[in-house]
Amino acid sequence: MYLAEQVAIVTGGSRGIGQAICLTLARLGATVVAAARNKDRTRSWVAAAGDGMQRIVPTVLDVTNREQVNAVIEEVAGRYGRLEGMDRVIKEGLAV
């Protein structure tokens, strides 16, 4: 797959553009951390999306809370490797 072994954090991942980006990245092989304030909404659409979406990991994140942002980055880095291994952080369609 094109993005195999790549990791992306997508904020706003519970709906709309963020959801579409999560789905696209997962279909291309990336591991996707779908960060949003509403984890249940994210879990719901991930379950409905079907096969291959195990690569999408819902997590709670309010991007206005610096402590939560730092905690999610640390968690992702710890889970998937060094921080340099985190390839993309995406905010509502804009790579940062």
Q: Tell how strand 7-11 and strand 31-36 pair up.
A: parallel
Residue whose entry in the numeric block shows the structure tokens 């999560």: 22
Whole-structure pTM value: 0.83
Residue whose entry in the numeric block shows the structure tokens 């060094």: 82
What is the mean pLDDT of each successive set of 10 residues along the chain, which is 96 residues long? Answer: 84 91 91 92 89 88 90 89 55 50
Two tokens at 21?
């980006």
N residues, the chain: 96
